[in-house]
Chain A
Amino acid sequence: MSDLTKLTLKAAVDGLKAKAFSSEEITRAFVSNIEAANPTLNAYVQVTADKAMAMAKASDARIASGNAGALEGAPLGIKDLFCTEGVQTTAGSHMLRGFVPPYESTVTANLWRDGAVMLGKLNMDEFAMGSSNETSAFGPVVNPWKSKASNADLTPGGSSGGSASAVAADLCLAATASDTGGSIRQPAAFTGTVGIKPTYGRASRFGMVAFASSLDQAGPITKTVEDAALMLRSMCSFDVKDSTSLDVSTPDWTQAAGQSVRGLRIGVPREYVVDGMPAEIQALWDQGVAWLKDAGCEIVDISLPHTKYALPTYYIVAPAEASSNLARYDGMRFGHRAGKATSLTDLYETSRAEGFGAEVKRRLVIGAYVLSAGFYDAYYVRALKVRRRIAEDFDKVWGQVDAILTPSTPSAAFAIGDKQIDPVTMYLNDVFTVTANLAGLPGISVPAGLDSNGLPLGLQVIGKALDEATVFRVGAALEQAAGGVGRADKWW
């Protein structure tokens, strides 16, 4: 058998069921890849090799007895904001160092129910706040891709940078991730992988460390669109433990990936042409339009007039919700507690000052500011009104189109350290992805080409609420037309 770690999730699951190889074999191969690569790429913050081998053995027994689940024996990486029972979960923060959840998140419980194997916990921006994976308390993740122009280490994007880097470097078959403003789709685009954020409410948020509750949604990062469909199906479920969970059934989306897109109406929003957008991004977008036209789609020019307000809206709503969610980290019941304090307030303030990193503190201060007396209406309530305008923009175009095509990011991956100086420049990375979070819509990023330095670029498909099927259909058509962007040359 050739290198098992290069298989797609689908091929691996099929091979395991056909007993072409065992889960113990493929799991061991991944553990060995991780041991070799992780000191350089820093994608995993914790490797659970013993647990993985035990889970693999149990999977092999189930396969032998004919009781294989949908992902039986498949080794996966888990973003470190999914609580995993008995395994440290930190959300990339000093604040949660040593936190061992006594419960399992619903998303990961679903994956284990379907037979998946956990390789370990994946690095991420602290509390999922970041677009470059440089804010993790465990240090930055390195993108396996290198620019032809420079040998500098590149960021894999964020906040699911560990997930994206691990999938791109064959350190797992697929990974869980989460997306609050683009944290699945942006790193997928930067690493030549596929990432989908489903409709808000499809995947349970129970046991996911919360950032901004009305925006956070779990999804997978995978090598192919079909893999994304396969894994997302296992992750999603109706969950009474999450009051925003949607009581809907989860379709088999693998059937949708591969169906003809002939006759679909694809919207191209004119407002997504942003100032200073590189010509390469526009060319990629034009190419995507041409591919879909060739595949029989009707291309429709549409307007989403409030697009330019999406990012500033996000940077009010997300910090406001974060300041509420992260209030629980007070040093009392779990997490970091400062050693010395002169009063109760001092204990809170010192614990939080020591436990949180700079970006998290910046956003918590913004959140407290926009929610404070005198500014609540001017900033927070206004942002919620603009949010409705943004959602209404989408409602108005769904009569004319079945899905929307945009670039995933305004550039290819950038070097570590490049954009850290200016928060606003960093925030602009999510300019194309954040609207889908504000409106709760599904969005996928599919690798679609390379820039002049040989770095991957992605195209994004946004769909109607609960219409992941069309998103997968169009995503698969783009993937097929692009013919793949290749793999990062192994240098690590």
Chain B
Amino acid sequence: MVGTSKWPLRILVVLLYIFLLGPILIVVPLSFSNDTYLTFPPESWGIRWYGAMFYHQRMTDAFLVSLAIASIVTALSLVAGIPAAYCLARERFTGRDALLNLFTAPLLLPTIVLGLSILLVFVRLNLLGTYHGIVIAHLIVTTPYVIRIMITSFTTLPAYVEEAAKTLGASPLVVFRKITLPLVLPGFVASAALSFLLSFDEVIISLFLTGPRLTTLPVEIYNYVESQTDPMAASVSVVLVSATMAIVIVIERTVGLAKAIGR
């Protein structure tokens, strides 16, 4: 092949990968700083900020809130998204394309505009600073991905496989449990993992909806980074990045990362 083994290109690519991954990886060494202010490389090393993190009430509260919200959002995304994806994948009806476009359209809207729009409606519905409000808002971010992944799963599972089981005398429930479910399981796991991650990491819409009494972890980190100069945010970031990477591996092993989030 032409140009595959050229060293200048390889070195350039390595440098560009350092640029791409540098800001994510640098939080790891900084998290082991014992300094009281942000300097790199740190003047003293230790695990002081990992300890401080657990005693920072607002941060631990926000972590638990995010965990709860992401779990509920994941469950509801699957409950709402999978049946819808099933219909859109299996039925040809008028308005099908319109519905599909409607369900995936929130991806096209800038998040900052979506956040403001949701704020304007939720303020009237008394949903600001509540679990309900944040969950509903996160669903609009997660369900487009669930629907896209599950439509692919249902389309690649041909209807005749289910028909065959039915012909051989299986009840609809048995067909679903023994045939449909196992075959779409990778899509199911990927949808769940991606929903959890998107909700857990969501920051812009949450900034509009959270208040002093209820904040999520990314919002709390954002506020901390904006107002404090000590390296505790690095320790929290390491926890966040490790969790993200674990979920990324789950998605990669099930439907493949590129398929799940590629546009």
Q: Judge: A and B partners, yes or no.
A: no
Q: B: which residues have CB within 8 A of A?
A: none
Q: A: which residues have CB within 8 A of B?
A: none
